Amino acid sequence: MRDAEDIDVRGRLHAARELLAEGREREAAELVEYVLAHRTGLPAEDMAGSCGLSARLLALRGEQVRAGLLADLAVWLARSGTPGPCQARAFLDRAHTLHLLGDCEQALACLRTARELAPGHVPGPAPWEEPAQAS
C-alpha cells in the first residue's frame, strides 16, 4: 500500500464529486474506492471527503444504515479540523445523502450549514433544493 502522498487524493476526490454530479456513479465509486484502498497516511480532511462520497454512493444503492453512518463519520472527521471548505463539503455530502434517504428537512439544514461554513465552496441550488423549499 502506498502513502496518500503518492496519489493525487484531492484531485481524485474532486473528480469523483464531478462525476457524481453528472450522474456517473460507477466511475465516481471507482475513484473513491481507489483512494480508500490506498489510505495509509491519509489526513482527516481526505478521509472525511472519502467517507462523504462513499455515503452518497451507498445512499444511491439504497444502503441506508451504512450511508447514514458514513455521512455522520465524514462530518465528525471534518470537524476535527479548522472550519471551512472541508467541513462544508462534509455537510454537503451529508445533505445529499439525507435527501437520497428521504429526510429532506435534515438535508436542507445540512445544506444551510455547509453554506454558512464556506459560502464560496458550496455550489448553487441542489437539483432537489428548490422543490423541497416550495413545499
Q: How far apart are CA 53 and CA 104, in angstroms?
A: 18
> pLDDT over 70 for what percent of the chain?
87
Range of the domain at 47: 4-134
* Cα dihedral value 62, 98, 123, 53, nearest 10: -50
What pLDDT shows up at residue 6? 53
Q: How far apart are CA 78 and CA 85, in angstroms?
A: 9
As for how many domains the chain has, the answer is 1
The string of pLDDT tens digits covering residues 77-123 is: 999 877 788 999 999 999 999 999 999 999 999 999 999 998 887 77
The string of pLDDT tens digits covering residues 23-80 is: 999 999 999 998 888 767 778 888 899 999 999 999 999 999 999 999 999 999 999 8
User: At 112, which CATH number?
Assistant: 1.25.40.10
Q: How far apart are CA 72 and CA 51, in angstroms?
A: 9
Mean pLDDT of the chain: 86
Classified as helix, coil or strand, 128 is coil
